[in-house]
Amino acid sequence: MRVAIFDLDGTLLVGTKSVMPDLAGVFWRRGYRRWRGVPLLLVAGLMGLVRKLRLISTEGYTRLGTRLIVRWMGGDQVDKLAPYFTETVRRQRVRPETLAALRRHQAEGTTCLVVSAVVQPLLDRFAEEFGCTALGTPLEVSAAGRLSGRFAGPFCSGTGKVAAVQRWAEGHQVDWRQSWAYGDTLPDAALLALVGHAVAVAPDAQLRAEALRRQWHVME
């Protein structure tokens, strides 16, 4: 089988802002558990200053920010978060060129995956919109559907995306040379290198240089 793998932020969606901070903004505006959100947002703001000083990588900052948001949700029922997830999805702008590529792959019978560091329950909502299989950052959920406030597996970014795709592929016979992958930043390079047809979507300077070196297609 052939697969087409799509990153979310900056690839299927316009812009480089992560979906997870947008979810935090939805929480705050709708008054979701503000007593818990205030200290976590303060920590996130402090770490944002640390990132500007280049004392922490962008990926490290994203991982920490996601952990803080997951902690914010800790103890709540997944079902109760559905309205916040839906609003976050509706706030995003889809990149038309990438969506057209996804629809083309689907019309050809290719299995499409959306792979992102976004937490799994939220990514599932995006996958429903796009008609894809979602591979995101897994969260611990009790038998009663209550979030623990912790990840249930690896953070799905960089090489974590490759690991997630490879775990999924264990139950499928994937023709990697005939498969496609789309990403927009350098951490996506490991994912793009997995397939025979790699596409850098409106890439940052680092991924653009890597795409030129490897002769990957660049979608502006």
Tens of pLDDT, residues 186-210: 999 999 999 999 999 999 999 999 9
- Give me the domains of the chain, ranges plus CATH numbers: 3-15+93-219 (3.40.50.1000), 19-89 (no CATH)
pLDDT given for residue 125 in this prediction: 96
Q: Cβ(6)–Cβ(16) under 8 Å?
A: no
pLDDT given for residue 85 in this prediction: 97
Pairing of strands 180-183, 3-6: parallel
**In the block, which residue shows the tokens 């040379």?**
177
Q: Cβ(105)–Cβ(155) under 8 Å?
A: no
Locate the DSSP E strands across the chain.
3-6, 111-119, 133-137, 139-141, 147-151, 180-183, 197-201, 217-219
Q: Can you read off the two tokens belonging to residue 122?
A: 């939220």
pLDDT given for residue 17 in this prediction: 67
pLDDT given for residue 47 in this prediction: 74
Phi/psi class of residue 74: alpha, beta or left (left: φ > 0; alpha: ψ in -120 to 50)? beta
Q: How far apart are CA 13 and CA 124, in angstroms?
A: 15
Q: How far apart are CA 45 and CA 132, in angstroms?
A: 34
Tens of pLDDT, residues 123-181: 999 999 999 999 999 999 999 999 999 999 999 998 999 999 999 999 899 999 999 99
Name 155's Cβ contacts closer than 8 Å, sequence gap at least 6: 63, 66, 117, 137
Instruction: Tell me how far CA of residue 134 lies from CA of 88, 108, 114, in angstroms.
Output: 16, 19, 5
pLDDT given for residue 43 in this prediction: 78
Residue 89 has pLDDT above 80, yes or no: yes
pTM beyond 0.85: the answer is yes
Tens of pLDDT, residues 21-70: 999 999 999 999 989 888 888 877 777 776 677 767 777 778 888 999 99
